[in-house]
Amino acid sequence: MSTSALFSPMFSTPEMLMAVSDASWLQAMLDVEAALAAAEADAGVIPRDAAEAIAAACRADLFDPAPLGMAAVAAGNPVIPLVEALTAAIPPDAAQFVHFGATSQDILDTAAMLIVRRALDRLLPDLDAVAAACATLADEHRATLMAGRTLLQQAVPITFGLKAANWLMAVIESRARLADLRQTRLAVQFGGGAGTLASLGDSGVVVMAGLATRLSLGDPPMPWHTNRVRIAEIGSALAIAVGAVGKVALDVVLLAQSEAGELAEPAAPGRGRSSAMPQKRNPVGAVAVRACVLRANALAGLLFAAMAQEHERAAGAWQAEWEPLSELLSVTAAAFARSRELLDGLRVNADRMARNLQAGGGLAMAEAVMGALAAKAGHTSARATIRAVSLGAQADGVPFREALLADPTTRASLSEREIDDALDPAHYLGSTNAFIDRALAAYRALR
């Protein structure tokens, strides 16, 4: 994967850049070649001393990725020049058994499974930390009142704890999918020229099983050269997880707007500064996550587009997968890491949340008042009455409470105390606490 000193730090992490580097891919391919030789020796297909000689040479530091990459242009993939270089590095009596019975795609696809597994082992801890931060916010702010918003307009009161619990559920659901994929969907690729392993006679399935055991990967029912469901599942699971933290980032961006001021990112020297406006404190962490979401969607889309492949071997679609897969792992790492930083130091302005909830003059409680009135005057009448009072309060610029007290239809059924009770946001939270408890229980079960 190509990297840029200017842009890569925003769209990856140092650990992930290492995990998907040329050196890591090269070593993964060599790990597959070594495991293949060992599995073939186990099955009696090649001599044991040949397998040991091959394994001894399967070290990435013995090969230069740059000329291998250049040679891949003519060869069509980097495995062909790698096999040639590996063969040249081994004594002739063992060299004839390098890559025995395999095809280039077997090596590269299986290497991809190793890369994804190692990447997931780095990704999941950060996503766990995101979930933990969401769980803490949900519990600590279960009573912190704020406006619930639909279509960007104030709707009914909620608590910030409920919003964080919604974040939590999306994160743990996407986390569960990634963990399941790591455990059940990463499998070796081994089919030889056209998926028959004919060159190995009756030993093909035995060698495939041995290769899977050697690499601690799944042993699939058959080769999957042009069945790209596994790759698409990886792309889908990563993009979904990035989308889950992207939802958090979008909410933070919206609630950090000057006019809202309900959330703020962690403060640090130089963080969020503008090159033109000295007063600015931009939500740079959330912005970075949002950028990762857009990139992840596009990269996953490339993997989906590559699913339809010709006959027994693709003419271009397989080749199109290699770099997008690495880039998707990178942007996922960045999204998780930035989300973790964002949530660990998130500043919650509870007073501003309460003030904003009341900024509409109490109109966010219209549904609650309508319910109280419906219990006395019937639903149809109550709906018409409260709608008229609400529109009148907005048109006249008066507080909702004042408009209700001045409305004879409302006062015929509700006392001033009943109106005030219906206007109290804390009295109209429904199952909020129960939902938070259920989200926290789901989180504890996942742990």
Residues designated as active site: 274, 313
Q: Based on the number of CB atoms within 10 Å of its own CB, is 75 exposed (0-12), middle (13-18) or buried (19 or more)?
A: middle
Lookup: tokens for 141? 């702010």
149 strand-pairing partners: 154
Instruction: Select from 252, 295, 227, 330 the least CA-distant residue to 16.
Output: 330
Q: How far apart are alpha carbons 269 and 252 in whole angstroms?
A: 20
Cβ atoms within 10 Å, residue 38: 21
Pick from 100, 131, 104: which is nearest to 198 by CA?
Answer: 100
The Cα diameter of the chain in Å comes to: 102
Handedness of CA 309, 313, 317, 320 (dihedral sign): positive
Strand partners, 150: 153
List, as one string, the DSSP characters of 259-323: TT-SEEPPP-TTTT--SS-TT----HHHHHHHHHHHHHHHHHHHHHHTT---TTS-SSTTGGGHH
Token pair recorded at residue 215: 């690499």
- Count the Cβ atoms, other than its own, within 10 Å of residue 368: 20
Which residues lie below 8 Å from residue 188, measured CB to CB, with a gap of 6+? 110, 113, 208, 211, 212, 215, 217, 218, 219, 220
Q: How far apart are CA 56 and CA 243, in angstroms?
A: 43
Q: Which two tokens stand for residue 116?
A: 């994804």
Q: Which residue has the tokens 């933290």?
A: 245
Rg, C-alpha atoms of the chain? 30
Residue 439 has which token pair? 């989200």
Enter the DSSP assignment of 149: E
- What does the alpha-carbon distance between residue 283 and residue 270 come to, in Å, rounded to a whole number? 12
CA–CA gap between residue 155 and residue 147 (Å, rounded): 7
Q: Is the dihedral of CA 347, 350, 354, 357 positive or negative?
A: positive
Evaluate whether 40 touches 97 at the Cβ level (below 8 Å).
Answer: yes
Identify which of 158, 131, 139 has the alpha carbon closest to the alpha carbon of residue 147: 158
